Amino acid sequence: MQATSARTRKLLARRRQALMQAAGGEAILILPAAPERIRSRDTHYPYRQDSDFWYLTGCAEPEAVLVLVPGRRHGESILFCRERDPEREGWDGPRLGPEGAVDALGLDDAYPITDIDEILPGLLEGRRRVYYPLGRDAEFDLKLIGWLNRVRAQARQGAQPPQEFLALGHLLDEMRLFKSAEEIALMQKAADISVQAHRAAMRAARPGIHEYELQAELEYVFRRHGAQPAYPCIVGAGANACILHYGANSARARAGELVLIDAGAEHAGYAADITRTFPVSGRFSHAQRALHDLVCAAQAAALAQARPGRPFSAMHEAAVHTLTEGLLSLGLLRGRLQEVIASGGYQRYYRHKTGHWLGLDVHDAGEYRIDGASRLLEPGMVVTIEPGLYVPADDAAVAPEWRGLGIRIEDDVLITRDGHRVLTAALERSADEIETLMSR
């Protein structure tokens, strides 16, 4: 959807202005839209706009380039985009066109994308620094190098080519890490849709159901609310839950097995990311409940660290401590607590970190470490908290009732001034809550 409201236009303009202020008056910032991708022969993958481009423009169209030129008298925010074309619009849908882009997106100026070869070298001339996401689009990289070389070729005639080439993400990632009230509202909507989808899948579960049938329940709810999957849904029954990025979603869930679902909706570009693990028959076995309760306890321990001033790594450390202590108590690991943690012995059953940034991308922009130390949490950051345990089906070192159990619990958490807010808190989490939901 194209940005059209006055409030949205002002928000986008503030973002562009803040970015230009951070870049400085001698800079030029160049950001192309995501290219379309061929799926097979002459059909394309569904188009998804580049997150940075969407963040700064609200433009959903391909074949566009945003150029920001701080201090330019004739307009600082410039968009190159496709012209209106009734013939092509009859096939592919309406376009903004340069005139419409200025009005709809609150830009200073816009030109046809076909004019970029003629205009952009002149915008580069006299600028000292170029901020650009090098390596993201190899074809556009070559075009930009060509434009730079054209300016350099005129140096003897007095042209002043840029002297520095800098990563745009250095500035933009930091902006995107801190969510505004408008962004938080969109993320809450994505979370709410995702909660409904997970509940629908749990209620549909029964022995013999295919994983892809549960995926269909999720995606039906997403689409019914105008959203789409933020990433490929993971639906792993039985030992498939131990495969972290399982994607086949083709097996049947057998009576007595657990099902792990990792799925989130994308609403207005913003992602949710939820994981729940539940018994397909509606009741946890003793061993399943023991591990599920342990993962719940680990998540609670990590959540207690989700507050301003705490290191990002503190959430993972708290989860690791709780999981390791529980695994020792249950007999799945042996040794002394601190030694098992120090040696990494717990990684036999817990291989990943406990969370990541969340926003326009499901693994969102932002540094995790600053000057070698774990970054401190601050209000406006949104993180996932997702501890898990995965016991391989062929692990002969443990009793049979533990083998093939994969459990992960994941929620989306906003860091606030006085602590945190769980955006996905409405979704049933504990074993008792899940059993009650599935019995209705």
Query: Which residues are identified as catalytic?
Result: 42, 245, 262, 273, 352, 356, 363, 386, 390, 408, 410
What is the β-pairing status of strands 43-44 and 38-40? antiparallel
Give bridge partners of residue 413 from the DSSP assignment.
383, 422
Q: Which helix (H) or strand (E) holds 414?
A: strand 411-416
Amino acid at position 305, single letter: Q
Report whether 249 contacts 204 (CB < 8 A).
no
Report how far residue 219's alpha carbon sits from residue 232's, in angstroms, rounded to the nearest whole number: 10
What is the β-pairing status of strands 419-422 and 411-416? antiparallel
- What residues contact 404, with CB distance under 8 A and at least 6 apart? 238, 239, 242, 391, 392, 393
Report how far residue 421's alpha carbon sits from residue 191's, in angstroms, rounded to the nearest whole number: 12
Report whether 215 contacts 200 (CB < 8 A).
no
Nearest one of 403, 402, 406, 409 to 390, comparing CA atoms: 406
Which residue's entry shows tokens 């730079």?
148
Report whether 338 contacts 330 (CB < 8 A).
no
Report how far residue 432's alpha carbon sits from residue 440's, in angstroms, rounded to the nearest whole number: 13
Task: Order across the sheet with 258-263: list the strands.
Answer: 234-237, 258-263, 274-279
Nearest one of 14, 93, 20 to 60, comparing CA atoms: 93
Report how far residue 186's alpha carbon sits from residue 190's, in angstroms, rounded to the nearest whole number: 6
